[in-house]
Amino acid sequence: MDFILYEQKGAYAVITINRERALNALNSQVLDELDATLDAVDLNTVRCLVLTGAGEKSFVAGADIGEMSTLTKAEGEAFGKKGNDVFRKLETFPIPVIAAVNGFALGGGCEISMSCDIRLCSANAVFGQPEVGLGITPGFGGTQRLARLVSPGMAKQLIYTARNIKAPEAYRIGLVNEVFEAEVDAEGNVVKSAKEVLMAAAEKMAATIAKNAPIAVRNCKKAINEGLDAKMDDAIVIEEKLFGDCFETEDQKYGMAFFLDKNKEKVKAPFQNK
């Protein structure tokens, strides 16, 4: 892999888009490598993913403008499909994916973060859909996911104006769950960069998720995602099936037996994904 780093850390793994000289812009090769990386995740041992960009400055500064500049209509549509397929794979990936947004998340960068379950960002993060300024639409899911994540009116405002927003505004409109500042000492020297603080928080969250019953966590992701696309009458049936699916698993039997056990001094054993 030239542009993707993959590191498993116990029960979670960190995927880093590693094309720093182009601010981690997504060209076809990056998308192909990300796709292959997702296919290779060992779902027997990995229970949560963190997705980030290399360096301190940029998460992903969009789709590669150089590569897109000469595309025909058919090639443009095919490039859109390539991105959409990988982003949809992330969105429907069996385990949760946390986007750790370190800096620019523009165009395809904002869009890939919206395919993740949870967005956390550093204080220097900048979000935006600048596509109409380049003569195209947000074609990696931006017109769809931004309108679902924030309000349709706010999504339209951001997309039509192509205005970038900084981390506090992204937080205010609900695009990110939390913003992380650099850690400074009493003299104002940076002890830990915002990216370091962000990664520590994202990895801590991933480890926390990875400790919970894996089948239950997966079923929650499926229930929320599939339920949001359904009418409420159908959505609660989706929930019921996924709820029922947890019963008779070893993790459900153990988790409940542990709670009911009066001998509370003993340490809870790790869930087994069974």
Residues involved in catalysis: 111, 131
Note the Cα 10 to chain centre separation in Å: 19
Binding of residue 62 to ligand CO8 (CB under 6 A): yes
- Which residues are CB-neighbours of 91 under 8 A, at least 6 positions away? 115, 116, 225
Q: How far is CA 225 from CA 32, 69, 74, 80, 130, in A?
A: 24, 34, 30, 22, 27
**Binding ligand CO8 by CB under 6 A: which of 12, 59, 79, 87?**
79
Q: Which of 67, 90, 20, 52 is nearest to 197 (CA)?
A: 52
Binding of residue 63 to ligand CO8 (CB under 6 A): yes
Q: Which is nearer to ligand CO8, 98 or 106 (CB)?
A: 106
- In sequence order, the β-bridge partners of residue 192 are 183
Q: Which is nearer to ligand CO8, 11 or 159 (CB)?
A: 159
Binding of residue 140 to ligand CO8 (CB under 6 A): yes
> Using CA atoms, how far apart are residues 144 and 101, in angstroms rounded to an integer?
20
Binding of residue 80 to ligand CO8 (CB under 6 A): yes
Q: Which stretch binds ligand CO8 (CB under 6 A): 74-82, 93-101, 214-222, 248-256?
A: 74-82
Q: Which is nearer to ligand CO8, 33 or 239 (CB)?
A: 33
Binding of residue 210 to ligand CO8 (CB under 6 A): no
The 10 Å CB-count burial string (b at 16+, else e) for 87-105 is beebbebebbbbbbbbbbb
Binding of residue 161 to ligand CO8 (CB under 6 A): no
Distance of closest approach, residue 92 Cβ to ligand CO8, in angstroms: 19
> Using CA atoms, how far apart are residues 3 and 37, in angstroms rounded to an integer?
11
**Binding ligand CO8 by CB under 6 A: which of 104, 127, 180, 271?**
104
**Binding ligand CO8 by CB under 6 A: which of 23, 118, 146, 220?**
23
Phi-psi region of 174 (alpha: psi -120 to 50; beta: other; left: phi over 0): left
Distance of closest approach, residue 58 Cβ to ligand CO8, in angstroms: 6
Q: Which stretch binds ligand CO8 (CB under 6 A): 100-108, 186-194, 222-230, 246-254?
A: 100-108
Binding of residue 108 to ligand CO8 (CB under 6 A): yes
Q: Which is nearer to ligand CO8, 20 or 226 (CB)?
A: 20
Say whether 141 sits in a helix, a strand or coil: coil
Q: Which stretch binds ligand CO8 (CB under 6 A): 48-56, 130-138, 180-188, 205-213?
A: 130-138
Distance of closest approach, residue 30 Cβ to ligand CO8, in angstroms: 11
> Using CA atoms, how far apart are residues 80 and 68, in angstroms rounded to an integer?
10
- Which residues are CB-neighbours of 57 under 8 A, at least 6 positions away? 20, 23, 102, 103, 104, 124
Nearest residue to ligand CO8, by Cβ distance, number only: 107
The CA radius of gyration of the chain, in Å to the nearest whole number, is 20
What residues make contact with ligand CO8 under the rule CB under 6 A?
22-23, 25, 61-66, 76, 79-80, 83, 104, 106-108, 130-131, 134, 138-140
